[in-house]
């Protein structure tokens, strides 16, 4: 696997992230950019990403550097939906895993499964979801998130019952925050799948390909 060759002031990109797996992966279609290859705007965005809570260029960010203005706006939005959501962290990560399963986004699942476990999402909930099953033994809050997100992805709308239940539990802000994390990670999934972001060497794809999906 090729390495990242990044000179100062981008040495911070090599820092270990506290919010993502330490192992690195690469994009089959977007080779990592060296410091010499980056434009000043790309360097500015790369430094901003590396200096934030993510700690490095992972997931979709290498691809997004190709359009630095869009990449900068997206990384700021991603920071908001992950770290400043009104939705409790375990449920927020559950929503992200639902997106990863809908899109069979292997790297997204790989990166966020461990974060979901750290946040307190029960392993059996994630295991059932990975197999395309409705998770068993969900808490009432998990049911709310599952139903709301599933309707968004499958029906492209949300029933009155689901909307009112999420609003009653998490407020209007919670409704918007749940929509935002779902929509943002659809974009992440699109990027990862288009870039053909590879799992680290030795990691088995965590999601089985479900019938009727790719």
Residue 13: per-residue pLDDT: 30
Residue 27, strand partner residues: 197
Residue 197: per-residue pLDDT: 94
Cβ–Cβ < 8 Å for 97, 109: yes
Q: Is the peptide bond before 9 cis (omega within 30 degrees of 0)?
A: yes
Residue 1: per-residue pLDDT: 35
pLDDT band (50, 70, 90) for residue 33: confident
Whether residue 112 has pLDDT greater than 80:
yes
Reported as a single tens digit per residue, the pLDDT across 48-72 is 887 766 556 778 999 999 999 999 9
State mean pLDDT over 187-205: 95
pTM of the predicted model as reported, rounded to 2 decimal places: 0.84
Whether residue 3 has pLDDT greater than 70:
no
* 4 vs 174 pLDDT, higher one: 174
Whether residue 9 has pLDDT greater than 70:
no
| Residue of 94, 114, 19 whose CA lies nearest to 61 | 19
- Tell me the domain boundaries of the chain: 26-83, 89-195
Residue 8: per-residue pLDDT: 33
Question: The domain 89-195: what is its CATH number?
Answer: 1.20.1290
> CA 16, CA 135: separation in Å to the nearest integer?
33
Reported as a single tens digit per residue, the pLDDT across 128-183 is 999 999 999 999 999 999 999 999 999 999 999 999 999 999 999 999 999 999 99
């Amino acid at each position: 696997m090729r390495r990242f060759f990044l000179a100062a002031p981008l040495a911070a990109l090599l820092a270990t992230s506290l919010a993502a797996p330490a192992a690195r992966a690469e994009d089959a279609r977007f080779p990592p950019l060296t410091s010499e290859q980056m434009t000043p705007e790309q360097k500015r965005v790369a430094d901003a990403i590396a200096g934030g809570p993510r700690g490095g260029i992972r997931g979709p960010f290498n691809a997004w550097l190709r359009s630095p203005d869009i990449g900068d706006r997206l990384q700021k939005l991603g920071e908001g939906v992950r770290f400043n959501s009104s939705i409790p962290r375990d449920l927020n990560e559950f929503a992200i895993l639902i997106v990863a399963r809908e899109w069979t986004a292997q790297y997204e699942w790989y990166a966020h499964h461990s974060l979901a476990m750290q946040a307190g999402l029960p392993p059996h909930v994630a295991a059932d979801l990975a197999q395309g099953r409705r998770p068993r033994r969900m808490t009432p809050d998990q049911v709310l998130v599952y139903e709301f997100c599933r309707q968004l992805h499958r029906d492209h709308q949300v029933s009155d019952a689901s909307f009112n239940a999420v609003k009653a539990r998490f407020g209007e802000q919670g409704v918007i925050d749940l929509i935002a994390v779902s929509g943002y990670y659809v974009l992440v999934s699109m990027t990862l799948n288009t870039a053909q972001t590879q799992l680290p060497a030795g990691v088995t794809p965590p999601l089985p390909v479900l019938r009727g999906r790719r």
